[in-house]
Structure 1
């Protein structure tokens, strides 16, 4: 939807307010209004924290992503992140590292090769297929809790070598850490902090255990890694494990849940996909464009520069808003229509340039498996209640998607 200009008070607007993304339109009306009327917007923070420039045009987003001379990610990479928190991880964690970025990436790449990903395919299909078969017998179930949340978390746990008995605990901790609640409760900052502390403590113990018993999991790959002949410290390993959990679990979870919502709300596209499964690769890209799980990305200007006709001063923050840039009519014809056959589809969901998401291939593979299992097993999907949006200024997603599915038992 597009919000009327009279409905948006730009003097009071704060894009960093997480409550902006909980209504049914998930803040899209506000972002579309900015794109049409103020594509370069100075966002003065209302509740404290650093102010920033907000860019909602695709071309400006591309320019910011590709400009590694004038912008840095080491002072914060998402709106709402404090500079002190970013500096603590700068140079150690892949997503907030510039100078050593390629070296850290080279260390981590062997853990996420296509061969490694394909090795997990059977387990992925068993997870998705099993959960669909089990829950389709119910009048209604939460797709987020039972399928969308379990598929990526099970994959990440396997990659990290987490024992099967601890997977449910990881699901609980990660959901809480990112403020995701299946009920109407609001996760407090204290609860988020406790969950994050539990995750770090768990992986610190697993790291210590793995040092004495190396395997072929991601943690072992990071232990073996060397940069300029030196091994990674425990802190560097744990920070990058946390990055993998965020990117590998949260992003795919919200994209998977968003895929079901989009297909239910666009029944013609659901029929089209079921009748022609050769469209699944393009459907995956359209799901990624449409759902844009990472709400924004931030950079800090190292020197005065110009973006979108605006002079950005050294030290000022700039942000790219993925749900908006991915729906820019200047970049995507009929951009506000969900089209499983859309091509080309150069969305910015995974970023661009040297900070292109290291787990992009894994996320695409998981979404492909999900769509293949859905189209081969399910004949009909319907929402059985209201969707609950995630309260967050970091992730753009959903907490609850109540659905009813009907299965095609002829093929299974």
Structure 2
């Protein structure tokens, strides 16, 4: 525990202690924070990387305010700072910050984003929708044949993996290798924030080597996939560097598979936790679009993003100094009682549903249309073919405060009568 505010004031958990997130995102903790300290300074603890504290934003209103001003809240770094990025721990500028799409600022961010946007617009996705629908049904049919399966591996991960592999030009037979590497680098199993293990370093190295080979092949024989597109693209007349494209490959592979499969898994858990909800959705397909939005809100697969204050200013009655780290906790904002009535209840009829699962503003998730499509198709395939889903063992959550994930979810799926 750590102290915040005046002596004798409220105490809050250490948000850099990953043990707090062992059983998923601690929503009850953040409900208390929203009520007592919607914005507060989190001092460094023994678990905090860099030994530097940070601001914690917990409410929907303040999250929107920070997201709306990328000039004031940098995704790369504050002026003069050698480290920055979107994690609590600093990454060296030029290694991630300023290079990765999600850790860059305008104008570079917008220019880079424009290269990728045409491939993920709804118009482009309509050309692959029938194929993805067929894949979804095959995935569910294969899981039903097993009877008992790991929902994460056998269902939730499969369509996002197949789709992102197709999108970025990875052979389908390689997708599970990439899945394993991404999991090892994103899960803090056996390590703390700011630390690496032999397993995570080896996975990162193998993914990087794979990306180098893939990029070389795309330069020699380009296609219509995203890696081919960026390999041939220029910004301000200059081609992207090898390192930029490599980092983009890592980002797309991880974000394109990990976040969506966690949204599917955690969203399903939300549905199953509400008695009668599965049957209600099966009987009324018109509820599916609303259910997908509620799954996104309920899951909040990216719990927080960090920003760096570019100048001294005021936020929520507090003075934020230039260079301060500001963390925006989307998962908390998506359960804000001031915006969402009965926020812990899964309600597919919730309207409006202004969740921030994809962020907001200039850094709104580029893959949002694809994620929504994948979630819709998987949910529809499950509702069409599965009478009920029963957990056969405990859910094993990823150990992370940056990614709300599930490692394993053993289930029994019972087929509907024809």
TM-score (norm 1): 0.91
CA contact (8 A) 1:286 1:338 kept: yes
State which drifts further: 38-47 or 55-64: 38-47
Distance 2:39 2:270 in 1: 29
Aligned equivalent of 2:227, options 206, 212, 219: 219
Aligned equivalent of 1:141, options 146, 149, 154: 149
Query: Is 2:184 the counterpart of 1:176?
Result: yes
Distance 1:51 1:246 in 2: 28
The alpha-carbon deviation at position 138 of structure 1 amounts to 4.0
The alpha-carbon deviation at position 400 of structure 1 amounts to 1.3
Deviation per residue, 1:189-235 (Å, 9 max, x gap): 22112111111110111101110111100111112222111111111
Which residue does the alignment assign to 2:3? none
Deviation per residue, 1:147-198 (Å, 9 max, x gap): 11122111111111111221221222222222288xxx88962211211111
Which residue does the alignment assign to 1:14? 14
Distance 1:239 1:282 in 2: 34
The alpha-carbon deviation at position 315 of structure 1 amounts to 0.9
CA contact (8 A) 1:71 1:302 kept: yes
Distance 1:388 1:312 in 2: 38
Corresponding residue SS for 1:136: helix
Distance 2:153 2:10 in 1: 36
The alpha-carbon deviation at position 129 of structure 1 amounts to 2.0
CA contact (8 A) 2:139 2:158 kept: no
How do 1:164-203 residues align onto structure 2 when only pairs under 5 Å count?
Answer: 164-179=172-187, 189-203=197-211
Corresponding residue SS for 2:95: helix
Which residue does the alignment assign to 1:41? 40
Corresponding residue SS for 2:393: coil
For structure 2, list consecutive stretches of 5 or more residues without a partner in the other structure.
Answer: 1-8, 78-83
Corresponding residue SS for 1:198: helix
Corresponding residue SS for 1:319: strand
How do 1:102-113 residues align onto structure 2 when only pairs under 5 Å count?
Answer: 102-113=110-121
Aligned equivalent of 1:160, options 154, 168, 190: 168
The alpha-carbon deviation at position 81 of structure 1 amounts to 3.1
Corresponding residue SS for 1:170: helix
The alpha-carbon deviation at position 401 of structure 1 amounts to 1.2
State which drifts further: 204-213 or 258-267: 258-267
Query: Is 2:296 the counterpart of 1:288?
Result: yes
Distance 1:171 1:83 in 2: 24
CA contact (8 A) 1:203 1:238 kept: yes
CA contact (8 A) 2:10 2:36 kept: no
Deviation per residue, 1:366-385 (Å, 9 max, x gap): 00111111111111112111
Aligned equivalent of 2:97, options 82, 90, 94: 90
Aligned equivalent of 1:368, options 376, 384, 387: 376
Which residue does the alignment assign to 2:25? 26
Query: Could you say if the C-alpha distance between residues 82 and 180 of structure 1 is closer, same or farther in structure 2, counting changes exceeding 3 Å?
Result: closer
For structure 1, list consecutive stretches of 5 or more residues without a partner in the other structure.
Answer: 1-8
CA contact (8 A) 1:14 1:44 kept: no
The alpha-carbon deviation at position 77 of structure 1 amounts to 4.0
The alpha-carbon deviation at position 41 of structure 1 amounts to 2.1
Which residue does the alignment assign to 1:261? 269
Corresponding residue SS for 2:375: helix
Which residue does the alignment assign to 1:386? 394
TM-score (norm 2): 0.90
Distance 1:78 1:397 in 2: 18
Query: Could you say if the C-alpha distance between residues 79 and 173 of structure 1 is closer, same or farther in structure 2, counting changes exceeding 3 Å?
Result: closer
Query: Could you say if the C-alpha distance between residues 295 and 278 of structure 1 is closer, same or farther in structure 2, counting changes exceeding 3 Å?
Result: same
CA contact (8 A) 2:268 2:295 kept: no
Query: Could you say if the C-alpha distance between residues 200 and 130 of structure 1 is closer, same or farther in structure 2, counting changes exceeding 3 Å?
Result: same
The alpha-carbon deviation at position 324 of structure 1 amounts to 0.8
CA contact (8 A) 1:291 1:397 kept: no
Which residue does the alignment assign to 1:243? 251
Corresponding residue SS for 2:338: coil
The alpha-carbon deviation at position 340 of structure 1 amounts to 1.2
The alpha-carbon deviation at position 237 of structure 1 amounts to 1.1
